[in-house]
Amino acid sequence: MGDDPHHRDRLAHARVGSYFLGPKAENFHILSELMGKVLEDQKTVRQNLYHDDPEFITSSMMQASTYTESIDELRGYVNTLSEKLALHSIPFWSPRYNAHMNMDVALPSIIGYMATMMYNPNNVATEASPLTTEKERTVGKDLCKMLGYRKRGNVTPWAHITCPILKLSGQKCIIRNKIEPDFHGFVMQGLDQIHLVHIPMFHMANHRWQLIITADFPEDAKQRYQQLRKENPDKFYTVANTEKELLEDMVKSGADITWRLDEGIPKDGQEPIMTFKLSNIRVVVQESMFFNALDQTYPDRMPFYLYGSKAEAHLDHVLKKAPNGMISVDNVKLALEPELSDEQLARGVVAILEDVFENAIQPLPLDGSNISLAAPGLNLAPGKTHKASVYESYEAFKGGSAPISRGDITLGGYVFADWADVNMDPAAKPCHELKN
């Protein structure tokens, strides 16, 4: 019998059968038994650690409505998730299912994973996870042996593997989230009462703000800018601080900031057209672009901040989800009913372009790295007219409030658009270029 090859095959097949849960759930009782053992062991060790300590989660807490509601909510979510997974997952466990490369999950893997997760493994160092770190080392050595790498002396690659990854992650986090003085560029809008629109960035904490301000310019700077705009209507102009500053300090009352005027975005080392100081800075829009201030989805229709005056009104695209593009339009023509007052425009409202369906066209159409403003569905080229609804705020629009005005908005002669800078990730450089 022992020499019968068919018998040996049957024994081998039976052993393989012990590795899996089985297409008919044949080994589920084993999984239940083993998981029960894991839970019982952890229950015992928790109860015996500082044995004389009182219970933390008391019976009175368990009887509280907030406790029972939370548990009922958890049960409901688990029931829903489990039922949907059971009904709508592919039958990868069945040998009859060949639509994709799948096979049953291994019983040892499942119980090993579930058992380990009960002990919150964190394999960065032995003191954080004494057993799982040691097991991870053993697995690593087994993998090296299996792949043919020789083990020489006491050479251990563990610290080399984990430390560079941790260091790199820390460097990227610092680069993206460190708030420090920097240069801040603003696109100029209007000719009479000049508005300045900050060029924001989703991935740099220094610049994670949509900020629109207006200020009083020195007469010579204002006249020079007005002359340049009239001579070059197809160009845009910017201002920026000449010394690194925190953005919040630049808009404080009495801020003593030297500004520079440039055509377009100046290159490093480029001389400004002129420098000057601003006075009477007023904030029109100041909205955070930090992660917790963003939306989970793009708005159905494209929202813009609308501000200025009846004589000079401007638009700036509301940025509430990344990636996205800055789109700023000055000197738009308003044909709204009822007409907005100078007071409403001075403090700023939100206009929704009813015929630009943002959620459907994101990410925005690009021509190379530039936003294709004339693309179908976007159609934000200069001179285009759009149906619009106006709300007191973006929150009023999101909350379903009624619009305060409706009508047409016709875009002005120049539309500034940026995709590359707004979405630029400074931590996306090759590893060797990242600095501490």
Tell me the per-residue pLDDT of 132-150, one tens digit each, with 9 for 90 and over: 888 878 887 887 777 776 6
Q: Would 232 be classed as within a structural domain?
A: yes
* Shared-domain flag, residues 74 and 193: no
Task: State yes or no: pLDDT of 160 exceeds 60.
Answer: no
Containing domain of residue 231, as a range?
A: 185-423
* Shared-domain flag, residues 223 and 98: no
Residue finishing a domain among 69, 96, 120? 120
φ/ψ (deg, to 5) at 395: -65, -35
* Shared-domain flag, residues 193 and 284: yes
Task: State yes or no: pLDDT of 434 exceeds 80.
Answer: no
Q: Would 144 be classed as within a structural domain?
A: no
Q: Can you give the pTM of this predicted structure?
A: 0.64
Residue finishing a domain among 100, 120, 140? 120
* Shared-domain flag, residues 203 and 102: no
Q: Would 149 be classed as within a structural domain?
A: no
pLDDT (mean) for 159-185:
77
Q: Would 163 be classed as within a structural domain?
A: no
Q: Would 175 be classed as within a structural domain?
A: no
Residue finishing a domain among 120, 140, 167? 120
Which residue in this structure is represented by tokens 């096979």?
103
Selection from 405, 199, 436, 174 nearest residue 310 by Cα = 405
Task: State yes or no: pLDDT of 352 exceeds 90.
Answer: yes
DSSP reduced 3-state for 239: strand
Q: Would 49 be classed as within a structural domain?
A: yes
Task: State yes or no: pLDDT of 175 exceeds 90.
Answer: no
Q: Would 139 be classed as within a structural domain?
A: no
Task: State yes or no: pLDDT of 156 exceeds 90.
Answer: no
Task: Report pLDDT digits (tens) over 44-53.
Answer: 999 999 989 9
Task: State yes or no: pLDDT of 431 exceeds 70.
Answer: no
Instruction: Give every CB contact of residue 111 below 8 A, 6+ residues apart in sequence.
Output: 31, 34, 35, 38
* Shared-domain flag, residues 101 and 228: no
Specify the DSSP element, H or E, that contains 240: strand 237-241
* Shared-domain flag, residues 230 and 115: no
* Shared-domain flag, residues 197 and 272: yes
DSSP string, 186-232: EEEE-SSS-EEEE---TT-GGG-EEEEEEEEPPHHHHHHHHHHHHH-
Top-confidence residue, 231 or 6? 231
Number of domains in the chain: 2
Distance CA 325, CA 172 (A): 23
Task: State yes or no: pLDDT of 435 exceeds 60.
Answer: no
Task: Report pLDDT digits (tens) over 278-294.
Answer: 999 999 999 999 999 99
